[in-house]
Each structure stands twice: as structure tokens, then as C-alpha cells.
Structure 1
């Protein structure tokens, strides 16, 4: 049997990819179910509504972004170098999709 938290994580990862590709209105639970390989009611078990799914996704994204910025500030002390690293992150993300794109 699949671990529920693993399934929820798979659902969130899929939703993140779909939101980045097409926005909030660009995906449905049917799309997520197809990609993850589960039925739509299984998604509702973890996230009662699309709003709940996206709210959880954005909350996790914000926590990841805050942790990333905190790590940048710890590891790079010069403000100019911090800005350069930040810009390089987004440049890589936009140019070749090596970094996860902002869901917001």
C-alpha cells in the first residue's frame, strides 16, 4: 500500500509542475490523477478541494523560498554577491529549467 504522506507529496509535486506550466486554471484533479496514477477520490482524501491543494502547495513553496534565502544570506555575506546569486538562480531557471520555477 502507498504511504499517504508520499502520495500527498506526489500530488503536490505534480500540481506544482502543472501550475508552473499552465497556471491555476490550467489543471484539474483529473490531470493530477492521471500523472500520479491514482483516482480523483484519492486526491480528495488528501486535499478536499483544489483550493486546499494549492494553499498547501504555496505554503510549502514559501517555506522553501524562505529557507533558500536564509541559506543564501548565511553562505554569501556580501550583499552584491547575494543579489548576483539570486539573479543567477532565476536566470538558470528561465533559460534551461534546471531550478524549480516560482509557483506564484
Structure 2
């Protein structure tokens, strides 16, 4: 007697809650937090609005879940850069390439920047989480800058946190303009930043 064994792919389908979060994350990065509704979610996922409300009674609840999603997104991306980069400048290069890919190739904003587009409308609980996300990203870039200064990759006598802020502001600001003016402007901006922080002898 021959017994046939069914092979399972062992891939768990996303729960309804996770599907809502994943679709909302796409909408957040494309349209901002105020740029999509529970009706949009229900239509896209072919579920009722009542089902969306079951998982997230108010949009603030969904917003906080999106902050959790963004935290995981940041941790995964920055950990990957830490693991793969060959130098501190290479970490910044990888950050720049990822930002360029998301913003110009995929036409999606960084989720932190996407929240900022609706900052004056966000509940305080979400604002607090967005600030914490900002701090997490800034802390990572600050560590990269400090390590680069200590290892003589970057010019000495510079404030690592101030450099980190300037880097993030330059990168994200240039990305906004690049969506209209093209990626050459973005690349010129980041090349200028490279000249700013690297020793002139390199």
C-alpha cells in the first residue's frame, strides 16, 4: 500500500490584522496618514469596515500600530546595513541608496517623513511615538558619525550628533526635491555632504 505524503509550504497566510497594517503602511508612505481611510482599506482587502474597526477601533490605534511597524522596519534596515557595510562611510552610502530606492524608484516616502506630512493633525500619542522613531534613527546615524570620527574616516573636531542631524535633514530634504527635479539634485547634495565630512587628505 502506497502512502502519499502532502508537502506543506509552511507559509502562514497573513492575519487580517497584519494585512490591514501592511496595506496601511503602503498607503502611509504613498499618501500620508490622512491620505487613506478605513473605507479604502476595506475595499482593497475585500473586508467590511466593521472588520477594520474590530482590529483598530479608532484610527489612532492603527497609527500606533504603524509606529510599531515603522520601528521594526527601521531596526531591520539599519541592522542589515550594520552587518553588510565595510566602513562607516559605506553605512551612510547604503542608507542613501536605500532612501533613493524607496523614494524615487518605489515612489514611497520614509514612514517617519510620511507622518510628518500630517504632523499638525496627529494625536499626541502618535506624535510622541514619531519623535521616538526620529530619535532612534538619529541615534544610529550619530553612532556612525562618532565611529567615523574616532577611526579617522571623517574630519576630526566635529560634533557627531550635529553631523547626524545635518545628514538626515540633507538626505530627506533632497529626496523631496528630487521627486520633482530628478535624482541628480539628490546625488549632488549627498556628494557635497561627503566632501564636508571627509578629511581633505582622503
Common fold: TM-score over 0.5:
yes
Q: Note the residue ranges of structure 1 that are not aligned, 5 or more in a row.
A: none
1:33 deviation in Å? 0.5
1:32 alignment partner, one of 27, 31, 41: 41
1:4-37 CA-to-partner distances (Å, cap 9, x unmatched) read x611111111111222222111111111111111
Equivalent-residue separation in structure 2 for 1:103 and 1:71 (angstroms): 18
Partner in structure 2 of residue 102 of structure 1: 110
Equivalent-residue separation in structure 2 for 1:95 and 1:22 (angstroms): 15
Partner in structure 1 of residue 51 of structure 2: 42
Equivalent-residue separation in structure 1 for 2:90 and 2:46 (angstroms): 43
Partner in structure 2 of residue 12 of structure 1: 21
Length, aligned pairs only: 101
1:91 deviation in Å? 1.1
2:92 alignment partner, one of 63, 74, 83: 83
| Structure 1 segments (4+ residues) deviating >2 Å | none
Equivalent-residue separation in structure 1 for 2:109 and 2:30 (angstroms): 10
2:63 alignment partner, one of 51, 54, 58: 54
Aligned-residue CA RMSD (Å) = 2.1
1:45-84 CA-to-partner distances (Å, cap 9, x unmatched) read 1111111011111112112212221221122141011111
TM value normalised by structure 2: 0.46
Whose Rg is larger? 2
- Asked whether the 8 Å contact 2:27–2:35 carries over to 1, the reply is yes
TM value normalised by structure 1: 0.84
Q: Note the residue ranges of structure 2 that are not aligned, 5 or more in a row.
A: 1-11, 113-202
